[in-house]
Amino acid sequence: MADLRTLKVQYLEHLEIEKNRSPKTLENYGRYLDRFLNFAKIKNAEDLDDERIRQYRLHLNRLTDKNGKPLMKTTQNYHVIALRNFLKYLAKRGVKSVSAEKIELGRAEDRHVTFLEHTELDRLLNAPDGSGLNALRDRAMLRMLFSTGMRVSELCSMDRNKIDVKRGELSVLGKGRKIRLVFLSDDAKDYIAQYLTKRTDVDEALFIRIPKSGKFGKDSDLRLTPRSIQRIVQKYAIKAGIMGKHVSPHTLRHSYATDLLRNGADIRSVQAMLGHSSVTTTQIYTHVTDTQLREIHKKFHDKK
């Protein structure tokens, strides 16, 4: 008999070794599968059946957090995808269980994309002022986020020796451990150069926390975390007077994609620059950039 928890561990090892998945992916898959196993309360793969999976999906749909909010449909689908991929792995191993092909994803709700208009973007990018290292870092960070469309995790992992300011392009290791090329605007290059010139520490990270004393220790781990960068972006959004929008590093990524599409970039190119594995993901931006629909409405609606 095949023990499911042992098989789960072997599956995560398979993702790590054969599939070269990131530690974050392993963490997420482990958490999703643990939730299923804790619900199913079965030990052997052979005991899994369609009805138990149906009950699990009902359980996911009815789950709420501490504030009483249900799991988003997208999050529910992540759980189902993890289970489905686990079952595919079992089938390849010759372990009898439910066929993965019998499990369909639920229809996810349309994603709401928050992006900044040009006036809001200008105010945000120019919000850091002064000539201190903090201000130079923050100006460079905001410009780089908007110039490249990088995810906050990608920005955090960037080392300064990977930046060629003169060339204005760099390779990014993104989701699925896929490498893509991103590009720096002229002002991003200028601000990054100013920031790096003023740094006196030896830390390899591109963006670092700066001690209040201004003095750097030799062995300090100064790399900023995603949460630190989120707080910095939110601070400047408040300073820029951007109201009614939750502004985060991902908002700048959304703004980057929206700006490209509004200015005529084709969706396949935007897909490549964002590092999306499927163009379907990139299509969430098209509903906010479809000026043709507005023109049709203006031309044909409410004609006297």
Nearest to 151, CA basis, from 75, 248, 219, 223: 248
For residue 229, the enclosing domain spans: 118-292
Cβ neighbours of residue 29 under 8 Å, at least 6 residues apart? 11, 12, 15, 21, 82, 85, 86
CA 155, chain centre distance (Å): 11
94 part of a folded domain: yes
- By the 8 A CB rule, do 144 and 179 touch? no
Structural domain total, the chain: 2
Give me the pLDDT at residue 295, please: 66
End of a domain among 49, 67, 102? 102
Distance CA 202, CA 220 (A): 9
Same domain, 231 and 284: yes
208 part of a folded domain: yes
Verify whether residue 253 is a known catalytic residue. Answer: yes
180 part of a folded domain: yes
Nearest to 45, CA basis, from 57, 35, 53, 56: 53
Same domain, 222 and 95: no
CATH of the domain at 170: 1.10.443.10
The catalytically annotated residue of 11, 89, 195, 285 is 285
Predicted confidence pLDDT, tens digits, the chain (304 residues): 678 999 999 999 999 999 888 888 899 999 999 999 999 999 998 999 999 999 999 999 999 888 888 988 888 999 999 999 999 999 999 999 999 998 888 776 656 778 899 999 999 999 999 989 999 999 999 999 999 999 999 999 999 988 888 888 888 888 877 889 999 999 999 999 999 999 988 889 999 998 877 777 766 689 999 999 999 999 999 999 998 889 999 999 999 998 988 888 888 898 988 988 888 788 877 766 666 566 666 666 665 5
132 part of a folded domain: yes
What b/e sequence results for 207-220 when a residue is b if at least 16 CB atoms lie within 10 Å of its CB, and e otherwise? bbbbeeeeebeeee
The catalytically annotated residue of 52, 88, 175, 209 is 175
Same domain, 224 and 270: yes
The DSSP bridge pattern shows strands 169-173 and 179-183 to be: antiparallel
Same domain, 181 and 287: yes
111 part of a folded domain: no
Give me the pLDDT at residue 291, please: 60
End of a domain among 102, 132, 161? 102
Work out whether the CA dihedral 128, 134, 139, 144 comes out positive or negative.
Answer: negative
Verify whether residue 151 is a known catalytic residue. Answer: yes
Verify whether residue 262 is a known catalytic residue. Answer: no
Same domain, 266 and 236: yes
- By the 8 A CB rule, do 251 and 116 touch? yes
How much is the pTM? 0.71
Work out whether the CA dihedral 211, 216, 220, 226 comes out positive or negative.
Answer: positive
The catalytically annotated residue of 137, 143, 151, 254 is 151
End of a domain among 54, 74, 102? 102
Verify whether residue 175 is a known catalytic residue. Answer: yes
The catalytically annotated residue of 8, 137, 253, 254 is 253
298 part of a folded domain: no
236 part of a folded domain: yes
- By the 8 A CB rule, do 207 and 163 touch? no
Nearest to 142, CA basis, from 233, 72, 65: 233
Verify whether residue 137 is a known catalytic residue. Answer: no
CATH of the domain at 31: 1.10.150.130
Give me the pLDDT at residue 151, please: 93
Angle between helices 73-92 and 50-62 (to 10 degrees): 160
Nearest to 11, CA basis, from 30, 24, 28: 30
Same domain, 173 and 286: yes
Same domain, 150 and 88: no
Same domain, 44 and 152: no
